Structure 1
Amino acid sequence: MTTSEHPRHRLDEVVHAPVRFSILAFLAGVDRAKFALVRDTVEVSDSTLSKQATILESAGYLEILKGHVGKRPRTWFRLTPEGRTAFAAHVAALRELAGG
């Protein structure tokens, strides 16, 4: 990559999708979050969140943690270090684009 390259070339296609961007933006501010909290915050269905989280996990940006609280199964999400870096780089590219 050269320094004269247009900022759009630094946008991450995995991060750029609106739902995935929203998931990463929310998780960037927390250590980890329950599935239901992310779903409600991002305002998507269970199936949409599950599909988008799987894409983020496949890219190495999200860790999906499964466990139980009592006898009830629970799912939590946590950004990986790579996910935090990718999100920050994507936001920086957007800011550069918006700033002209």
Structure 2
Amino acid sequence: MKPAVRWVAVLLLGGAALAGNTPGFQSLMDEAMARMHSGMAAAPMTGNADQDFLAMMVPHHQGAVDAAKAELLYGKNPQVKRLAQEILTEQALEIEYMRRLQN
């Protein structure tokens, strides 16, 4: 892996890239979706629609962030990469907001 690509991988993937274990796009997407579905399934349902909605939406939005990171790492189309960056930024802000609403 080229040093510049490795640096981006480290930023996006953390320890997996440091270990030299940079999975391919499909693998990253599969992992992102598995984490999202697991997080949504594990969300505690309280009977409070507002809190239950937030509990489910945080992992859902995190799945979008993780998918956007995979696109930024492997994508080629500048328009799609720009969209992925927007998704990453917007969804991260929404996750932060939803977490504040949960407290």
User: Under a length normalisation based on structure 1, what TM-score does the superposition of the two structures give?
Assistant: 0.29
Q: Which has the higher strand share?
A: 1
Q: Which has the higher helix share?
A: 2
User: Under a length normalisation based on structure 2, what TM-score does the superposition of the two structures give?
Assistant: 0.28
